[in-house]
Amino acid sequence: MQRWNRRKTHLHLLALLFLLFIVLTILHNEHSIRQIQETPDPESRRQEASISYVKPNVLSHRNGVPVEILDRFSKCNGTKQYSGRKISRDGRKSESGRRKVRSARCDVFSGKWVFDNTSYPLYNESQCPYMSDQLACHKHGRSDVRYQYWRWQPHGCNLKRWNVTKMWEKLRGKRLMFVGDSLNRGQWISMVCLLQSVIPADKKSMSPNAPLTIFRAEEYNATIEFLWAPLLVESNSDDPVNHRLDERIIRPDSVLKHSSEWEHADILVFNTYLWWRQGPVKLLWSAEENGVCEESEEHNAMELVMTTWADWVASRAIPLKKQVFFVTMSPTHLWSREWEVESDGNCYNEKTPIELESYWGSGSDQPTMRIVEKIIDKLSSAITVLNITQLSEYRKDGHPSIYRKFWEELSPQQLSNPVSYSDCIHWCLPGVPDVWNELLFHFL
């Protein structure tokens, strides 16, 4: 009996050792696989080594003469294929490695639109002297004004209630600047209309339309400004009026032309998106001596530009403790078949929001969103992303369509077919951009 117990003990010990051997073998194999996965193969290393990197936002001179500024008359002396060079970063780390979640209890960007003709609109279109004819839909013939009465309601919580006086107090002694394209200009006009009514006529002013346009409120020693910079970096499209060009040329490695204006602001609201959906872009690097451009598809070009912008934010905005917001893409509604199967229109004559919460149209480019997310994730938690994309996706009814001023004369053929010239990109005011500003107020 004792002999059997000793033999049984030996068997248990051998089984335990065998089990331990199997576990160690598995762990070793997993570690080896992980090393293989994490270690680039020689070919990857060679490809990585062959990529050249450009340090961004460096004042460039050639033979002691500053590099010329791009304008609408700038041309490429030739074009070659994109070389694959990248923008280098100087290794600055973010504070936490991830963006801070500003509201852990509630995602204010997830919700639904609720009809509310008691609290909305927050201002009257005709009583805002700074309203744009591009966005004044009722003035230009839109009789259905239901688009003005929708309130954004997050799931499980509420946005801070809009308060004009509190917003002005947040802005007292400060410069709030919107930087970007015509969609960001629409958000700027919305903010001016939301705030201007409480300022006496002799205590407010608006500068003439220019690359930098400024609304000033003397009582609060505050300004609300818009800087036209549709591609964020220097480009030949930086004229706020004459920017419809056949060839788009950018300096992918420099925001210095625009940052010389925006670096003095206290609160910055950036956007860029729509101009990256218009085909290939010409890259004219600051160090290029012969004026030869590289042609790149839009996603590569946008990633270069966003990295250059992020370099400025990391080196200047964060150390100076500026408040920086980035507004995600504003969706378009160009194809009604995306929300109404077998239809053949666009946003024209649409009068109600989309109710399907999972709706996602082609007007929002997800690869572009991933580029933005990847780059902003590497920045400090001081950056706040205003994720307006999904909530704006629902608002197929919120665009001007034909109810706006068009700068070019419309042909008889267009006039006979309203769908052909409907603006399904910009937004009527009062309307969707007011909610974007309510979100900005919520996070300030």
**Phi, psi (rounded to 5 degrees) for 413:** -65, -40
Helix (H), strand (E) at residue 133: none
Distance of alpha carbon 279 from alpha carbon 232, whole angstroms: 17
Q: Which are the catalytic amino acids?
A: 182, 423, 426
Please state, in angstroms and as integers, the Cα–Cα distance from residue 102 to each residue in 14, 58, 348, 390, 439, following that order: 56, 33, 37, 18, 12
Q: Alpha helix (H) ranges present in 352-431? A: 366-377, 389-393, 412-415
CA distances from residue 182 to 87, 118, 162, 271, 284 in whole angstroms, order as listed: 27, 30, 24, 10, 24
Phi (first) and psi of residue 205, to 5 degrees: -155, 160
Secondary structure (3-state) at 360:
coil
The Cα angle at residue 334 between residues 328 and 340, in degrees rounded to 5: 110
**What is the Cα–Cα distance from 375 to 143, expressed in whole angstroms?**
43
**Which H/E stretch holds residue 80?**
strand 78-81
Distance, in Å, from the CA atom of 141 to the CA atom of 136, rounded to the nearest integer, reads 9
Dihedral sign computed on CA atoms, order 311, 313, 316, 319: negative
Sign, Cα dihedral of 116, 118, 123, 125: positive
Q: What span, in angstroms and rounded, lies between the C-alpha atoms of 126 and 138?
A: 9
Residue in 160, 103, 124 with CA at minimum distance from that of residue 438: 160
Beta strand spans in 210-322 (E): 212-217, 222-228, 249-250, 267-270, 281-283, 292-296
